[in-house]
Structure 1
Amino acid sequence: MHAKDVIPRAALAGAVAGLVSWVFALLFAEPLIQAAIDYEADRGAAEEALDAAAGIAPPAEGPEVFTRTVQGVFGIGAGMVLTGIALGLLFAVVYTLLQGRVAVRPRVLALLVAGAGFLTLYATPFLKYPANPPAVGHDETIGDRSALFLVMVVGSVVVLVVAVLVARAVRARVGTWNAALVGGLTYVVLAGVLMAVLPSLGELAANVATYGPAVGETPQPLRDPAGRIVFPGFDPDLLYSFRLYALTAQVLLWGLLGLVFGALAERATGRSDADAAEREAVEV
């Protein structure tokens, strides 16, 4: 297929994938986000009570720009659909570069590209810096967290490129399947080295000052000056469920992107082959 045929189909596939992922997030992740927001509000009230007992005035709060309904329903929906379209366009570029160079059916190539995108742009960075719900993470570390995640994404892409180059270099000597195994091991090793080099979120200065070293960003139990717990720490089950659903939403997004585009590409390719056969028959 020509690029002009790939791009609209990839954008459509991305929009469909984003829409389905949004419905999933709305049903499963949004209640957890609301629970995290409720925890944050209750913990804030407990902190204000402690500050009031110590004679500390509470900080001023800004006005709410968007309601929770707008944020949780329309905001997430628009964000995921637009993200799906953007990923579809990126998918189209990679697919266009690879088609004709990889001897597989369009459906298989689409799934391979989608799988590589999920692995490098989300799954590998997620292992080092998993998604967190509201209330988990200091405001002071937002910039550092964003920068580290971006470094992890870029590094993952670079590692994938190196792994592919290594596999191509040894393919003539060890065969295609062994070369794929060597490339996969190269990716795992280099990605592991990258994860080991980059700092954990618990090592960020704001987190060390609040929770101590090697704890992370999950809120610990709130204690009064006497050391008594006045408010519990963040629910680990909620954190686990949120991360699980966040990962599942991305699996849906990338999986549907590959499946839907693959079906559209096979249909377009089949129609093109039929048209070509019909033209040859007419010429004969």
Structure 2
Amino acid sequence: MAGRLLLRGMLAGILAACLAFGFARIFGEPQVNLAIAFESALDAASGEPPEPELVSRGVQASLGLLTAAIMYGAAYGGLFALVFATAYGRIGRFSPRMLALLLAGAGFLAVVVVPDLKYPANPPAVGQPETIGMRTVAYFEMVVFSLCALTLAVLAGRALAARMGHWNATLCGGAVFVVLVALLQWALPDIHEVPDNFPAVVLWRFREAALGMQLVLWGGLGLIFGTLADRVLARRNSAHYG
């Protein structure tokens, strides 16, 4: 069963990535173009020659973006399917579709929302080249720590459910997650690299588009995979009882 769910998870991830690509093309690319124009204007004002394009902007915004989105979606879809296969029947009596939506929501919260609160996405012209390594490491540390905090919160909620009831245990698990995330946000370094004269509207809309793209990806993954997994598990159950 895990193998069939894995294939369907990758398929769901690819389909969700195509939806996210369409969202990014409509809402994200215009902000990227504005940010690039801002960067080019700064370079021209300082007398610096423009950097040569290894890949044209048109390819980056079309085939390059689609390829990256599909690879990203397939990888996350496969991991999502493995987590689903592990969680199904072990964390509650949820239907496949409901469990897929819950896992997608948890993934969006832990992998996207929590890290973005500390290190939000930035368009071109924001950030210094010499800090790329530090920013990348700090961001992935936030992702890993956020996933660990979510896992601990779930385990705490399950451990308390028998004594406190499911509702109170869920509230306690949520409180554990919030406290751990707050500590992580405080412990990791702040990074302030937005130029003073960078258009605030472009920055805000770019971050909105980046978050929206992730929401479409995770929401599509949960909905599509839940439907596919429901069919696989229904056939398995009918074969088992037939």
Following superposition, the deviation at residue 268 of structure 1 comes to: 2.3
Greater per-residue helix proportion: 2
Following superposition, the deviation at residue 276 of structure 1 comes to: 4.1
* Counterpart in the other structure of 2:7: 8
Matched to 1:36, the amino acid is A
* Partner Cα distance (1:256, 1:97) in 2: 21
Matched, 1:97 2:96: no
Matched, 1:72 2:61: yes
Gaps (5+ residues) in structure 1? 49-57, 202-215, 221-232, 280-284
**1:118-164 CA distance string (max 9 Å, x none):** 11111100010000000011111111110110110111011112112
Q: Normalising by the residue count of structure 1, what TM-score does the alignment of the two structures yield?
A: 0.82
Following superposition, the deviation at residue 269 of structure 1 comes to: 2.4
* Partner Cα distance (1:168, 1:47) in 2: 59
Match of 1:81 among 70, 91, 98: 70
* Counterpart in the other structure of 1:146: 136
- Pick closer, same or farther for the CA change 1:273–1:158 going to 2, 3 Å: closer
Following superposition, the deviation at residue 272 of structure 1 comes to: 3.1
Q: Which has the higher contact order (CA 8 A, sep 6+)?
A: 2
Q: How many matched pairs?
A: 241
Following superposition, the deviation at residue 74 of structure 1 comes to: 1.0
Q: Kindly, what percent of the aligned residue pairs are identical?
A: 44
**1:205-258 CA distance string (max 9 Å, x none):** xxxxxxxxxxx21112xxxxxxxxxxxx11001100010111011011001100
Following superposition, the deviation at residue 64 of structure 1 comes to: 1.8
Match of 2:205 among 226, 229, 241: 241
Q: Normalising by the residue count of structure 2, what TM-score does the alignment of the two structures yield?
A: 0.95
* Partner Cα distance (1:61, 1:264) in 2: 48
Following superposition, the deviation at residue 270 of structure 1 comes to: 2.6
- Asked if structure 1 preserves the Cα contact closer than 8 Å seen for 2:43 and 2:50, the reply is no
Match of 2:221 among 257, 262, 275: 257
* Partner Cα distance (2:240, 2:142) in 1: 46
* Counterpart in the other structure of 1:228: none
Gaps (5+ residues) in structure 2? none
Matched to 1:261, the amino acid is F
* Counterpart in the other structure of 1:197: 187
Matched, 1:273 2:237: yes
Higher mean displacement: 244-253 or 60-69: 60-69
Matched to 1:119, the amino acid is L
